[in-house]
Structure 1
Amino acid sequence: MRSRLISCTGLVSLTLLAALAGCGKKADAPAAPATQSTDLITYAAGSPELDSIQTVTAAMSPLPVSDDMNARLGVDESETSRVGAPIAGRVTRIMADIGQTVRAGQPLAYLDAPDIGQARADVLKARADNDRKAREMQRSNLLYSGGAIARRDLEGAQADASAASAELERARLRLGNLGQGAGDSLALTSTVTGAVVDRQINPGQQIAAGQSPLFTVTDPKKLWLYVDVPETSISRARIGEKIEFDVPAFPDRRFEGKISQIGLAVDPGTRRVQVRAEVANPDMALKPEMYARARLVTDDGRRAVKVPNAALFEQGMQTYLFRVEGPGRFRRIPVKVSQRGDSASYVTDGIKDGDRIVGEGALLLNAQLAGD
């Protein structure tokens, strides 16, 4: 009897343990820890470490022939109009604002300018004087042909007519140079079609003669890149060659330009030569006055895989990075770096074009792989 009671008690205990085990299966299991070998580390799906790991695609690129250099973006001056005021006046109307697209000759603002009224009056006065002198010359011709006046009088009338015609032309040209408008109103216009990128004018503002720029109009899809090239590298820069650059606003994008001008003198303070490149900006992501890091690229057939510097780390005398081998699987591999830049470097051995690699988070992976 005692034996049966013990057996029943044991049975109940086993039943309770089984029930508790069943309850444990219904609860969420914690993520499995990382497993690792000498150069391979693996995380289970849902591991929190994966949130701090960023992967990027390594891409083949021409191997630069120079280190990264300071550069600055600017407007394309051949497609830019800086509008000023040829005469003094007071702003009465603003017709365009920053970001607005305008046509060549379109009024951007109107000034109340007494000088333009004076210029119009000068044209009317010169025209009247020219007409009068022309009639006097005609009468002198008739009188001279009839012998009523001397030749000297005829020549004097002809000279007066020529002077009046010249004064009329001068008055017309001055009025034309001042621009469009009516009465005392002067219209400020752009000479190019583009977008207004700067406005330094407000209604009621008094403008001095020659004050500029009041408006800056340019084509934002065309920019210039100014690069400060060390004199030791200027021999590698050639007109028509490609130049590659990146900007802090878009660290994952690579932009290109074409060298259009090379400076003729070395700056005595910096020992650098300014090189200018033309840059296409179809999506208008780039803005004038952005700073950039540029490098000369000569397409001589040499290629390397471009990777972010965050992907690389040193261990002893060898450089490594992590290649993605599958979901949550990262293998540490040695690579050969040909050239280093401020934000990216160029690898010639160890990985190939299109490989997925770890960018941010590579140091974390290496620390865990070492057992830290």
Structure 2
Amino acid sequence: MYKTIIIIILAFLISCQNTENKEPESVTPERGRQHQGRHRRGFRGNNPDRVTLKIEYRGDTIFVPSGSPVSKKLELLTIKSQDYNAQFVTTGVVKPLSGHLAHVTTPFDGRVVKSFVRLGEKVRAGTPLFEVNSTDYLETVRTCIQARQQMELAEKNFLRKKELLESGVTSRKDYDEAKMEFELAEKECEKTKSILEIYNLNPQDADMAKPLIVRSPIAGEIVQTDIIVGQYIKSDAEPIVTVADLEKIWVIARVKEKDLGTINLKDRAEVITESFPDKPIKGIVNYIGNIMDEQTRSVEVYLECDNQERILKPGMFVTIRFYRELDNAIVIPSSALLQDEESSYIFMRIAPDLYLKKSIYAETIGERTVIVRSGLNEGDNIISEGAIYLR
């Protein structure tokens, strides 16, 4: 046991002696640099040559180091005002011009006895369309003729009383009575004449021996006819003849709210049909609606178009391409424009490697183009490509 204790003591003394004889390790500059390198590799990875350049955000200002990967993806554009031909595309429908379409039926109940027109025929205003035998019409004519005869008789009596009064043969009372009778008869005659004129009938042609002739109220073309000789029709029946003047025609475009600011009266447009896509038809903006459709968020814009070749037909769906010449416009690519919940904005270069997030008001005028209404001036330098990397 004593031997074991002596061995442990000797081992302890030898260990202490080795510690005292060992010289401390000196730290040279080279070893210090190696230590610092190991410290940096903790942040940079295993490649000591790689340097990470971070983008710094300070409110609306962004610092992008010129050596960073993001900086290499940015393309700049210097703003210059220019004359620009703006255009956008929408859809629409073809309709006749106001007053250029007439649906015709008989003004009195009766039986059709004759037809004067055929489908596709061109007619003038007043051209006979069809003939109707109508007792209601004959009764109206009889009343008109009687009123005219009574007026003529009352007029003769009035003129005779006037001559007698001037000769001193009759009294003022008889003269006044004759005058009043004439005025009443004249008003009654005018009333019966106006009834016929309402139905586009000439009171001078009213004759008990002649049937009712229904005439075209406008000049145009017979585009629909359902005349059947022998058919009995009522005055409130569906029209049996349609006359349309299609030399000029409406194209009603549905324009979205965002595009309204680019349209003015007299702006030009092109109308394209599926049947003749290679024959665009020119149109002029004639009217811009004042009511917004709540469901489609669009406004009706009326184009007046020449339709000599009859390419445009009422009810047809078409594509409309609007054009507008803008003077001194500021136009930027859509890739430069970003949006958030509050506004549209771009990134403007205000110093080397320094950019400012700036709100602007812009409108889309093409598939890849927007026009800036406010927020940018000529000479400003903005990011045209790669702005999305700074969001």
Scaled by the length of structure 2, the TM-score of the pair is: 0.56
Match of 2:304? 278
2:294 paired residue among 257, 268, 282: 268
Aligned length: 245
- Tell me the SS of whatever aligns to 1:116: helix
- The 1:64/1:113 distance shift into structure 2, 3 A limit, reads farther
Can you give the 5+ residue segments of structure 2 that lack an aligned partner in the other structure?
1-83, 330-364, 370-391
- 1:109 aligned onto 2:127: no
Q: How far apart, in 1, do the equivalents of 2:163 and 2:87 lie?
A: 83
| Inter-partner Cα distance in structure 2 for 1:111 and 1:142 | 47
Equivalent residue number for residue 186 of structure 1:
212
Question: Of 220, 239, 247, which residue of structure 1 is paired with 2:265?
Answer: 239
1:261 Cα deviation from its structure 2 partner: 0.7
Please report how far the alpha carbon of residue 278 of structure 1 lies from its aligned counterpart in structure 2 after TM superposition: 0.8
- Give per-residue Cα distances to partners, 1:110-164, cap 9 Å, x unaligned: 1212222222212321232223323433454466567666533331221011111
Q: If you compute each CA radius of gyration, which structure gives the higher value, 1 or 2?
A: 2
* Other-structure match for 2:225: 199
Q: Taking structure 1 as reference, are residues 280 and 184 closer, same or farther at Cα in structure 2, changes over 3 Å only?
A: same
- Matching residue within 316, 323, 331 for 1:290: 316
Summarize the Cα distance change of 1:78–1:176 in structure 2 as closer, same or farther, 3 Å threshold.
closer
1:259 is matched with 285
Which whole-Å CA distance do the structure 2 matches of 1:168 and 1:276 have between them? Answer: 44
Offset, 1:275: 0.6
Separation in 2 of the partners of 1:237 and 1:88?
A: 49
The answer as to whether partners of 1:85 and 1:212 remain within 8 angstroms in 2 is no
Query: In the aligned structure 1, how far is the partner of 2:103 from the partner of 2:174?
Result: 51
Paired residue for 1:97?
118
Instruction: In structure 2, give the amino acid aligned to 1:297.
Output: Y
The structure-2 alpha-carbon separation of the partners of 1:132 and 1:252, relative to structure 1 and needing over 3 Å to count, comes to closer
1:65 matched to 2:87? The reply is: yes
SS at match of 1:159: helix
User: Which residue pairs with 1:167 in the alignment?
Assistant: 188
Tell me: CA distance 1:141–1:258, structure 2 relative to 1, closer, same or farther (3 Å): closer
Q: How does 1:210-249 map to 2 (within 5 A)?
A: 210-211=236-237, 213-249=239-275
Percentage of pairs with the same residue: 24
Q: Does the 8 Å contact 1:258/1:279 carry over to 2?
A: yes
Q: Partners in 1 of 2:283 and 2:243 — Cα distance? A: 22
Partner SS state of residue 228, structure 1: strand
Match of 2:173 among 146, 152, 176: 152
RMSD: 2.9
**SS across alignment from 1:77:** coil
Q: Does 1:130 align with 2:170?
A: no
Q: Deviations over 1:228-252 (max 9, x none)?
A: 1112211212111111231222233
Asked whether the 8 Å contact 1:113–1:184 carries over to 2, the reply is: no
Equivalent-residue separation in structure 2 for 1:281 and 1:127 (angstroms): 46
- The 1:228/1:155 distance shift into structure 2, 3 A limit, reads same
Q: Is 1:82 matched up with 2:103?
A: yes
Q: Distance in 2 between matches of 1:103 and 1:245?
A: 29
| Structure-2 separation of matches of 1:246 and 1:262 | 20
Counterparts of 1:262 and 1:186, CA distance in 2:
43
Instruction: Give CA deviations for 1:36-94 in whole Å, capped at 9, x if unaligned.
Output: xxxxxxxxxxxxxxxxxxxxxxxxxx96532x322011122243333343222222222
Which residue does 2:325 correspond to in 1? 299
Deviation string for 1:181-203 (max 9, x for gaps)? 75352222223222111224432
Q: Is residue 94–residue 108 contact of structure 1 (8 Å, CA) maintained in 2?
A: yes
Q: Deviations over 1:243-293 (max 9, x none)?
A: 123122223332221111111111222221101101112222222211112
Distance 1:283 1:146 in 2: 72
Q: 1:284–1:139: structure 2 CA closer, same or farther, 3 Å change rule?
A: closer
TM-score by length of 1: 0.58
- Aligned-partner SS, 2:140: helix
Question: Which stretch of the first structure deviates more once superposed, 249-258 or 93-102?
Answer: 249-258
Distance in 1, Cα, partners of 2:161 & 2:249: 63
